[in-house]
Structure 1
Amino acid sequence: MATLCLKKLLDQARWKEANYLIRYFASSLVQPPKRTTLPPTWISREHAIKGLLLVPTQAFATDEGAEEEPTRKKKNPNAKKTVESIGRKIPYRIIQLIDDNGNNAGTMHRSDVLRILDESGLKLVLQNEKADPPVYRLMSGQQIHEERLKLREKQKASSKSGPVQQKEMKFSTMIAQHDLDTKIKQIQQWIDKKHHIRITLRQRNVADGPEKMMALFDQILDTMPEKATYLSQPRIVKEGSSTCVLRHMSEKEIREYKAKEKNKDLPKDNGKDAIDADALQH
């Protein structure tokens, strides 16, 4: 009798120990139930008497994760524009298509555009993504190369048209002719580069008056016809010192200057001579 009671107590102790270990590991490993695409996994519990333990597991990919579209990278607005083929990756279902001749082919479904690409052997280039629908153009490899060259020249020209640089030159009205010719040559080089040149003259002999400084400004400007003009007219800054600013002439100013010089070369009595000749004939 005593042996049976002792065996019963040992069995109960063994069961309690096993049950405690199972509950401990199950509480630390099992996560809260989540919706999954896989059925729950049944794990048998050793030494269990009351049945099986239900442990829900999470799949590697859920329905929610599969429905999410990959996020697109944001484009840098300051990045330089380029002409590139997008291949066959068309992110829009409906697009507006421009053919390789520059004609509007209308709106098309993505599948129809892919079929045209396969049949023609052309490449697809994005033209305007902000339009509704976005605009794409069919181009050959040669056309893409030519567009890249045009874009490169345009970007190169725009980079040169930055802030105008201003150069400065100072000298005296008593400057020697050789030194004056050297400075005028430097001014001409700056004018060719579209710089602004501030010239400051100092009058050594006050008895000459400011007229000598103003005449020297005009003398410098006269060496650059059809090229330079005053941005700031000569003016007296203080007693014995004057300044002006020269700039390159615009295309319109150059045309007007040439037309004015051409009119100067025409004889003024052409009209009178024509009237006298007509009178003699009658």
Structure 2
Amino acid sequence: MLEKNRHLKKKHSDLPIINERIPFPQIRLIDQEGCQLGILSIEDALKSADIAGLDLVLISNKSNPPVCRIVDYGKYKFNQEKKAKEAKKKQHNSSLKEVKMRYKIEEHDYKVRINQALRFLQASDKVKATITFRGREIQHANLAIELLSKMAKDLEAVAEVQQSPSRDGKNMIMILTPKK
């Protein structure tokens, strides 16, 4: 029950402050055409909005005095939701993709890993190239560094090295990020 109430509080706080809920005694008012009407008392601003048959919406409470606008609240809410959807569509959360291989990798398998990494980088994801060692193979760390350096060189057109080859336990890792 408490969780449900917390959720309701959050929803209520997300709503824009409109009409009588605006807590400021004086505000800077902008009309429906975007013209500034100056600094008015909240009562005068509410009267202006009422005469226009529209709502008074708090746009910014960060400035001094706070800025309010006379708008149709339904249209305003619709436009805000539309902008939020567009922003969500455009954002891409880059994730970390991993390409694993051994230091004794065959040429064809190496090309497959390069193509995988290339596909990840073109999708704006970071790539973690990992070379795993078994048993005493860790003695050949220099070969793994050479292989990772070769990979970075092969992908230098689309990627830059964020973390150069380094040892992590029985692994050698390198992180590549897509070029902007």
TM range (shorter): 0.5 to 0.7
Q: TM-score, normalised by structure 2?
A: 0.63
Q: Which runs of structure 2 are paired with 1:1-282 in the superposition (5 Å)?
A: 76=10, 81=14, 84=16, 86=18, 88-92=19-23, 93-129=25-61, 133-140=65-72, 142=75, 144-154=77-87, 161=93, 165-191=95-121, 192-202=123-133, 212-235=143-166, 243-251=172-180
Flag the structure with larger Rg. Answer: 1
Q: Which blocks of at least 5 consecutive residues in structure 2 are unaligned?
A: 1-7
Among all aligned residue pairs of Structure 1 and Structure 2, give the percentage whose two residues are the same amino acid: 22
RMSD: 4.1
Deviations 1:147-193 (A, max 9, x none): 332234446667x55xx744444322322233223322332343334
How far did residue 197 of structure 1 move?
A: 0.9
Conserved 8 A contact 1:100-1:139: yes
In structure 1, C-alpha distance between the alignment counterparts of 2:48 and 2:57, rounded to whole Å: 14
Q: TM-score, normalised by structure 1?
A: 0.45
Using a 3 Å threshold, how does the CA distance of structure 1 residues 242 and 109 change in structure 2: closer, same or farther?
closer
Using a 3 Å threshold, how does the CA distance of structure 1 residues 148 and 80 change in structure 2: closer, same or farther?
farther
Q: Secondary structure at the match of 1:174?
A: coil
Question: Greater share of strand residues, 1 or 2?
Answer: 2
In structure 2, C-alpha distance between the alignment counterparts of 1:91 and 1:244, rounded to whole Å: 55
Length, aligned pairs only:
169
Partner AA of 2:57 in structure 1 = V
Q: Which blocks of at least 5 consecutive residues in structure 1 are unaligned?
A: 1-73, 252-282
Using a 3 Å threshold, how does the CA distance of structure 1 residues 91 and 233 change in structure 2: closer, same or farther?
closer
Q: Secondary structure at the match of 1:185?
A: helix
Q: Secondary structure at the match of 1:214?
A: helix
